[in-house]
Structure 1
């Protein structure tokens, strides 16, 4: 995939970068680390500029986030509650669990959006609950853009700074991603354990 990505970027320049980053938001397995660091490297050997790569990659990312926000809004809270009322007993999920989650997201959602832009996988998926809760769209776009801009600028700068050694950045970012995935898995297991324990206590 890496070879195809870099070739596509070399062939299509800014448009290729923006399109790939857009797809990365919709299809998380596409690694933004490769796109951004190689984009930074391209600024040292082509007509592409740091500002141009930053703008196009950020624009592609924000548009992708808006699409996923739309998916969440299309699903809607009503359909979510309907699903839980119908199948929640099999999943051991109650509507009050949804209430608690939505209340938490409404309280801390904006900063959650911002910080999740630095977390692999969640960087994309976090837009869905934002749409689900109908988060204020201008503020959603603002916090998404701020988080995305910082993430993109750092990786593009690193790719530009190391030049032909941009693979080294990708290597270390891959380690970072694996650590984050491990932490997320442990966190999910802990949450499930706490939830099961609470269910047993209520019985």
Structure 2
């Protein structure tokens, strides 16, 4: 049994960036996930540059957020009821694209991206704000992990 776990550990170490990307993607969709833990685990391996880790994590997480944006565009009815609307929809209505900087936050982040798609907000600004928000979060995590010494 130890051999199996040893081989699994070797395989996971060799594919840490792939797992980081997949975890980042799925944690940014409406599915639960832990991209922060995957980021910290990949950093602790000390096999990859911080730039590579940030790039892969941000790319996966951004693509997951854009998946939510795309799902939102498929929702046909765009009538808005401020009184009963979801908090994310109210934030996007109030703050516009700036609200997408919070797309990384638990609970509210995924619905923000979904609301942006549902409201038919322009794709390129959504991409930029989602990417920047997610990148800043990962930069902060890397800084905390390394003690801001890199």
- Using the size of structure 1 for normalisation, the TM-score is 0.58
3-state SS of paired residue (1:126): helix
Matched, 1:12 2:10: no
1:96, distance to aligned residue in structure 2 (A): 6.2
CA contact (8 A) 2:20 2:35 kept: no
CA contact (8 A) 2:103 2:113 kept: no
1:147, distance to aligned residue in structure 2 (A): 0.7
CA 1:11–1:146 in structure 2 vs 1: closer, same or farther (change >3 Å)? same
Partners of 1:103 and 1:26 in 2: CA distance: 20
CA contact (8 A) 1:37 1:160 kept: no
Matched, 1:22 2:25: yes
CA contact (8 A) 2:101 2:130 kept: yes
1:68, distance to aligned residue in structure 2 (A): 0.6
**Larger RCO (CA under 8 A, 6+ residues apart):** 1
Matched, 1:157 2:138: no
Matched, 1:144 2:130: yes
**Larger Rg: 1 or 2?**
1
1:126, distance to aligned residue in structure 2 (A): 1.4
Partners of 2:59 and 2:16 in 1: CA distance: 14
More helix, by proportion: 1
Identify which range, 106-115 or 128-137, moves more after superposition.
106-115
Q: CA RMSD in A?
A: 3.0
Partners of 1:157 and 1:73 in 2: CA distance: 35
CA 1:155–1:95 in structure 2 vs 1: closer, same or farther (change >3 Å)? closer
Matched, 1:50 2:75: no
1:125, distance to aligned residue in structure 2 (A): 2.4
